[in-house]
Amino acid sequence: MDQLSRVFGALADPTRRDIVARLTRADATVSELAAPYDVSLQAVSKHLKVLEEAGLVTRTKDAQRRPVHLEAEVFDLVNKWIERYQRQAEQRYQRLDALLDELNERDTRNSTEGTAS
């Protein structure tokens, strides 16, 4: 699977988004991350694995704590994709607007010519 699909997939879950949100403030261990949720440590580990496979988080090799670290630059992947197609959609509406303006103008011209002849 491509990374963009993995990133979107990883962010498609509210618990995983919450984990990402908390990691923007500070690195945290799995048990620190699990504390506020009513789920098992295993469930949180699974969520972290999905985030890790998407490149959104990494774990340091520090054997005791192994804190989870957010790789915030991955957000740029999503940003780039969204921005590109958002711009393309806007340009389309601008073209439609311009076309409508032109049609309106032509209409006005035609009806003026109509009264003149």
Task: Give the footprint of a copy of itself on this chain (CB under 8 A).
Answer: 2, 4-6, 8-9, 11-14, 17, 20-21, 24-26, 70, 72, 75, 78-79, 81-82, 85-86, 88-90, 92
State which H helix or E strand residue 117 sits in: none
Closest CA to 12 of 72, 68, 56, 76: 56
Residue 97 Cβ vs a copy of itself, minimum distance, rounded to whole Å:
14
Shortest reach from residue 47's CB to a copy of itself, in Å = 13
CB nearer to a copy of itself: give 66 or 95. 95
Distance between CA atoms of residues 42 and 63, nearest Å:
18
Distances (CA, A) of 91 to 4, 79, 82, 100, 101: 24, 18, 14, 14, 15
Strand intervals (E) in 2-105: 57-59, 68-70
Smaller CB separation from a copy of itself, 46 or 109:
46
